[in-house]
Amino acid sequence: MKKIFSLLLVALITASSAFAGEGMWLLNKLKQVNEAQMRQLGFKLTAEDIYSLNKASMKDAVARLGGGFCTGELVSSDGLMLTNHHCGYSAIQSLSTVEDDILTDGFWAMDRSQEKPAGFSVSFLQYITDVTDTVLSALNDGMSEAQRDSVIGVMAQVLEGNATEGQPHFQADFKQMFEGNEFYLFVYKTYPDVRLVGTPPNAIGKFGGDTDNWQWPRHTGDFSMFRVYTGPDGEPAEYAADNIAFKPKWHFPVSLDGVKKGDFSMIMGFPGSTDRFLNSDGVKLALDVEQPSRVKIRGEKLEIMKEHMNTDNAVRLKYAAKYAQIANYWKYFIGQQKGLKAQHVFERKKDQEDALMAWVNADPTRQAKYGEVRKDLADGYAERAQFEKASTYMQEAAFGSEAVVFGFRLYGLMKQLEKDPKDTKVITAMADQAKGRAREFWKNYDPATDQAVTAAMFKLISEDVDPSQQPEVIATVKKKYKGDFDKWAAAMFKTSVLTDSTRLMAFLAKPNLKTLQKDMGMQAMESSIGLYRNVLGPAIQDAQVKIDKGYRLMVAAMREQDPEKMWYSNANSTERLTYGIVNDYSPADAVHYDLSTTQIGILQKEDPTSDEFSVPARQKELLLAKDFGRYADENGNLPINFISENDITGGNSGSPVINGNGELIGIAFDGNWEAMSGDISYEPELQRTISVDIRYVLWTIDKFAGAKHLVDEMTVVKAPVKAETTGDVAPPAPVR
């Protein structure tokens, strides 16, 4: 009884208010929703210093990398940008060769002529528009879910088109919030010319490797440096020799003051996806089916890749970024399963649902509007559960074969050859496009590695998935190769145009339908895509209609039940702000973790026999000599990482960690193991953001790399100046 009461109490507390560290807040709502609480916690500026349409503000210095895979921040008036090492990992790996392995050895441009094209773009938020009223005016309760989605889709296109008309460098993103109850338009300006300026060696940037990933305490220098360029006219432009450094409206001053317990901290960035409104049915499906499947498949894939990477240095470089990406969320799903169970999230969600439905059923009007919420969700998840395992195995295993995925890139050409083989102009254009994709693909591809992965992945499908939900190629392997997936994969990779660059280029020089139809790789691709498109996808989508309707009404009911709560929407790759304090935590009985780490931990963890814990000779020499200069803390140690109560998720990697004066104090790079359930249920006593202390970043650039010119380019500040009139800290002047 005591445990049930405790869980119910937590649910009621969670339902009534947001914890100080909890929440991913929309920038255009900060003034009315968050500013007062932020100032109570130690924020010295105003909401308009963060987001303004009338003057330069912090939003102008926060960059979305690519489509939102990470975040970066500008730290100079010449477009110098900091982000995480793991965010720049693919670019660094792509620029590395066996002869010039900058991933392993590091790289520092000693002048701008040495900066290297990074291969991704960055975007800066221009403004946010709340279009909820506009969209809702076109909807009514009598619409089916399909009709509703259709109208919303049309309105999204119109609103995005209006926002970007006459603005060639603008991009508009229409986003639904609160599970389809609110709607916003985010408008960005995109800059395609981004160049690598500097990166520490992998031993610093990824110190601790997969062992320390998601763990605290950490000692990782997870940062890299880039520069944004524009055309000579200051407008976005593709890479060109005569491009100039971007002149931002704002860049962050960099503070040497460090952090202490209770300090205010905030993070701005582009969190990718959270599921805080996930109900108990969704939690159960994740725990029972989805997460165990992903962990098993990724674990086997990683084992095969690692074996090949360890035996060939060229393969190691080609697969470094792929391996890191797969491993990151392999460990994440392990931790999330553990966290969901340890924090009794299923039970807590169920208690919340019981309380909500009791409120709904207490009033006939509410019952008429929201009475079917629980049934819609339960029925939808029950239907989806029938196909979830097969769907997950297709995503992770079948499409875990690089050959199968590359085959999909030839699917359009194949269909064109079927449709009109005499239209040589279109076919030639599609073949030329495929050649470009192939060159990019083969830069980081090893057929022997992919052959082993492909055999293992399709074998897993054969063993674990209901035969009625397997792609037809599985039956072919069982019949023709007696279930020997290694033999099948060997035959495929020996003959397919997808697995040999010479065969592929010869085919693309003279494309013909017969070759593709007979190709074993294309057959595996068609079989997999066909199953997903024709069976699994539609079945899950049918179930999802009920689920989406259930969530839309459930969230509407929750907000109606508690209109005074500070509500925030799930992350969806739009720019958000989270704020809280720097704080330690106690993850278990008799265990306490301090809020910061120093160089002492690097030396304690050093293991010359391990790639994960090796310490470069120069770094070790400097650490032992305590040559820290102005970057030392008050005790004479070099600060490395710190933790805070900020609420982040994937996509926030590389985000600026900012103090109450608007100064950069760190770069966010990870969450902590004990709160891996946090994307579904925020855990205030446990949830922490792990950041690299900006003083370690500056020390590495200055002392370790000898690239002091890059530090000199930044606006480095030591002690804040007291404003004579108010006693508050004077805000740093916007850089114009």
Cα 379 to Cα 126, 283, 290, 383, 546, distances in angstroms: 42, 15, 18, 6, 7
CB 693 within 8 A of CB 666: yes
Is 86 a known active-site residue?
yes
| SS3 per-residue string spanning 703-722 | HHCCCHHHHHCCCEECCCCE
Options 222, 647, 679, 702, the catalytic residue: 222
CB 376 within 8 A of CB 553: yes
Is 653 a known active-site residue?
yes
Q: Which residues contact 477 (CB under 8 A, 6 or more apart)?
A: 458, 462, 483, 484, 485, 488
Pairing label, strands 716-717, 254-255: parallel
Q: Where do we find the tokens 């104090």?
A: 665
Q: Which residues contact 22 (CB under 8 A, 6 or more apart)?
A: 580, 647, 682, 684, 687
CB 638 within 8 A of CB 597: no
Which residues on adjacent β-strands are paired with residue 267?
578, 657
Pairing label, strands 576-581, 585-588: unpaired
DSSP string, 418-464: HH-TT-HHHHHHHHHHHHHHHHHHHHT--HHHHHHHHHHHHHHHHHH
Q: For residue 179, give the amino acid letter.
A: E
Q: Which two tokens stand for residue 502?
A: 């010479």
Angle at alpha carbon of residue 685, lines to 682 and 686, rounded to 5°: 70
Q: Which residues contact 347 (CB under 8 A, 6 or more apart)?
A: 7
Report how far Cα 192 is from the mean position of its chain's Cα atoms: 20
Nearest to 346 by CA among 336, 358, 361, 360: 336
Residue 600 CB neighbour total at 10 angstroms: 13
Q: State which H helix or E strand residue 597 sits in.
A: strand 596-598
Options 96, 596, 653, 677, the catalytic residue: 653
Options 86, 219, 251, 308, the catalytic residue: 86
Whole-angstrom Cα distance, residue 459 to residue 479?
14
Whole-angstrom Cα distance, residue 340 to residue 8?
16
Angle at alpha carbon of residue 222, lines to 719 and 679, rounded to 5°: 100
Across 221-334, the runs of DSSP E, i.e. the strands, are 224-230, 244-245, 254-255, 264-269
Nearest to 221 by CA among 232, 211, 208: 208
> What's the sign of the alpha-carbon dihedral 655, 658, 664, 668?
negative
Q: For residue 410, give the amino acid letter.
A: L
Q: Which residues contact 266 (CB under 8 A, 6 or more apart)?
A: 38, 43, 577, 578, 579, 580, 646, 657, 658
The SS3 assignment for 668 reads strand
CB 90 within 8 A of CB 321: yes
Catalytic residues, by residue number, are 86, 222, 653
